[in-house]
A and B are shown apart, each in its own frame.
Chain A
Amino acid sequence: MTKLERRNLFKGLAFLSPWLIGFAVFTLLPIILSFYFSLCDYSLLQTPVYRGAENYRTLATDPVFWQSMRVTAKFALLALPSGMILALILALLLNVKIRGQSIYRTIIFLPSLVPAVALAMIWLWLYNPKLGLINLGLRHLGVSSPPGWLSDPVWSLPALVLMSLWGVGNTVIIYLAGLQDVPADLYEAASLDGAGTLAKIWHVTIPSISPVIFFNLIIAIIGTVQQFTLPFIMTPSGQPARATYFYTMYLYDNAFSYLKMGQGSAMAWIQLLIILALTGIAFWTSKRWVYYQGK
């Protein structure tokens, strides 16, 4: 290493030092500690006692753990596809050259700005079985006994999915940005071949923006697996019938309500592995359907 290289290395690390320290203390150390705690009996008040894979074995036979896993998976299977398809449809509509386009765009984007706690309050009120706007509307339309939404175990999870669609504007914006990069000559070529609007969307638009779809998918996966604030506020403990007891809610309860820090850490590690695996699968399968221009 020359003298200049050494000096640059020193200078570079000096500038990076806040992050290097922060990474070590607030990211790397917690991840290592989390793994160690996951192998321990640790109630926060006592020092951790090593127990091997005990926590993981307990979780494997814990019906509540599997319930929280099922709830999260069910939510993901309902919310991810519906949200991504709705967002794509909205983006295509918002990309049509019409007057008032900017007003439409703003209105559709606004709900995604609403902070989670306010969002929870608004929808708790909308879903209120007796006085909420949704059931008032349904009764007005002649539905004599509309669902109890969040107080009905059959409807509470679908209610959360429906609510998540209100905040789809974020994803729409990312799609819209992607749509601007679709080369115009591809559409012209498709027109010459006699393609209609739907054929153009299917054969030109969707393949062209597939990297954006892929990007949205990963963001959505990571977000869904950590779903916490909304179900925690709107359906405490996932009640009734733990129908909305998400994975992160059980993790939180284990660690901070029952003070089973070891069990909570085991859940954290499983969550980390699930996210890595899902993202990995998304990357791996993307080779089949993601089309990058110029490649």
Chain B
Amino acid sequence: MSMAAGEKISPSEDRTKKAWLAHLSLIIICLLMFVPFLWMVSTSFKTLDKTMEYPPRWWPKPFAWRNYVDVFFSEKVNLLLWTRNTLIIEVLSVSGTVISSAIVAYGFAKIQFKGRGVLFVIMLSTMMIPFPVTMVPLFTIFRWLGDHTGTQWLGTFKPLWVPTWFGQAFSIFLLRQFFMTIPDELSEAARIDGCSEMGIFLRVVLPLAKPALVVVALFAFMGTWNDFLGPLIYLQRPEQFTLALGLQNFQSQQGGTDWNYLMTASVLVILPVLTLFFLAQKTFIEGIATTGIKG
């Protein structure tokens, strides 16, 4: 199944009563679904006093495109800093997730050993454990690490990315499924040629698994981009805030009045995700269709 259905639909098929009914209801629903986006974009180009105008205009006058510059350099909305922080965490956690999950997935997919099945089931079941269940002890573990390793953990980015270097269940699962489709004959041939297990992984399996690695990277990126509870617990100083946390903090500090800036910032937070979606539409849809998990 794809978004861009390649099927040819004949005009006669499109003119049945059923088709008309589907068109009519879908047009109404799509309009309803799209209005919040339009309202957001419209507000993002308004001056503050025009957000309070009645009746509201869909086409802002004056057209305050400056909002998009202001949100990067204003005192209150420090989008530049928040984006920088988010990107640092993104780089560390996306690479961590992809590298460690690929190594573990190889073990699950390509090496026959006793207990593999049991470990795999345990790994799958950890996907069901929600973060709130483990967040209190994780907080104390990171505090303990700070007291006993000589480096600060709480109030730094570490709790947000270090765990990603230890494999992430959903990514391991996805990669393992993909590795299973690579014929064992390839790795056997390399083994006979005297290639080490790590060599087979790096030179035979990984190059063939590029599409799956992209999927995992994409989902890891989305997960970090959307994460709110993690940064909320671990980050303490405003200069460390991520986009999600910074935006929420700005909104709650000023009690929600600068709606134009809030909408401008929201547009900018959504934009990278939408861009990724349109670049990798098929990947997204298939990923969600097979796993049901978004980011």
A residues contacting B by CB (< 8 A) are: 1, 5, 8-9, 11-16, 18-23, 25-27, 29-31, 33-34, 37, 44, 90, 93-94, 96-102, 104-118, 120-126, 128, 131, 133, 136, 140, 166, 170, 173-174, 176-177, 180, 197, 215-216, 219, 222, 225-226, 228-229, 232-233, 236, 248, 251-252, 255-256, 261, 264-265, 268-269, 271-272, 275-276, 279
The reply to whether B103 and A15 form a contact with Cβ atoms under 8 Å apart is yes
Given A15-B104, A124-B251, A173-B288, does the pair A27, B126 have CB atoms closer than 8 Å? yes
The reply to whether B229 and A229 form a contact with Cβ atoms under 8 Å apart is yes
The reply to whether A117 and B248 form a contact with Cβ atoms under 8 Å apart is yes
Given A108-B33, A228-B229, does the pair A5, B113 have CB atoms closer than 8 Å? yes
Chain A residues with CB under 8 Å of B18's CB are 96, 197
A interface footprint on B258-295 (CB within 8 Å = 1, 0 otherwise): 01001101100110011001000000010011101110
Chain A residues with CB under 8 Å of B265's CB are 121
Question: In the complex, which of the residues A1, A19, A222, A236 contacts B167, with contact meaning CB atoms closer than 8 Å?
Answer: A19
The reply to whether A122 and B36 form a contact with Cβ atoms under 8 Å apart is yes
The reply to whether B247 and A25 form a contact with Cβ atoms under 8 Å apart is no
Question: In the complex, which of the residues B34, B54, B107, B228 contacts A117, with contact meaning CB atoms closer than 8 Å?
Answer: B228
A interface: dominant SS: helix
Chain A residues with CB under 8 Å of B263's CB are 121-122, 125
Chain A residues with CB under 8 Å of B290's CB are 177
A interface footprint on B203-247 (CB within 8 Å = 1, 0 otherwise): 000000000000000000000011011000100000000011001
Chain A residues with CB under 8 Å of B115's CB are 9
Question: In the complex, which of the residues B106, B252, B289 contacts A177, with contact meaning CB atoms closer than 8 Å?
Answer: B289
| Interface size band for B | 35 or more
Separation of A285 and B259 alpha carbons in the complex (Å)? 47
The reply to whether B252 and A236 form a contact with Cβ atoms under 8 Å apart is yes
Write 28 A-B pairs (CB below 8 A) sorted by A numbering: A12-B116, A22-B100, A22-B163, A22-B166, A29-B137, A30-B134, A30-B138, A31-B137, A34-B134, A98-B9, A107-B33, A108-B33, A111-B36, A117-B244, A118-B247, A120-B248, A121-B265, A123-B36, A124-B251, A124-B256, A126-B36, A126-B39, A133-B39, A219-B292, A219-B293, A228-B229, A251-B132, A256-B139
B interface: dominant SS: helix
Number of A-B contacts (CB under 8 A): 273
The reply to whether A255 and B135 form a contact with Cβ atoms under 8 Å apart is yes
Q: How far is the CB of B175 from chain A (nearest CB, A)?
A: 12
The reply to whether B129 and A97 form a contact with Cβ atoms under 8 Å apart is no
Greatest chain A CB density within 10 A among B26, B103, B167 is at B26
Greatest chain B CB density within 10 A among A107, A170, A228 is at A107
The reply to whether A268 and B134 form a contact with Cβ atoms under 8 Å apart is yes
The reply to whether A26 and B166 form a contact with Cβ atoms under 8 Å apart is yes
Chain A residues with CB under 8 Å of B201's CB are 15
The reply to whether B30 and A104 form a contact with Cβ atoms under 8 Å apart is yes
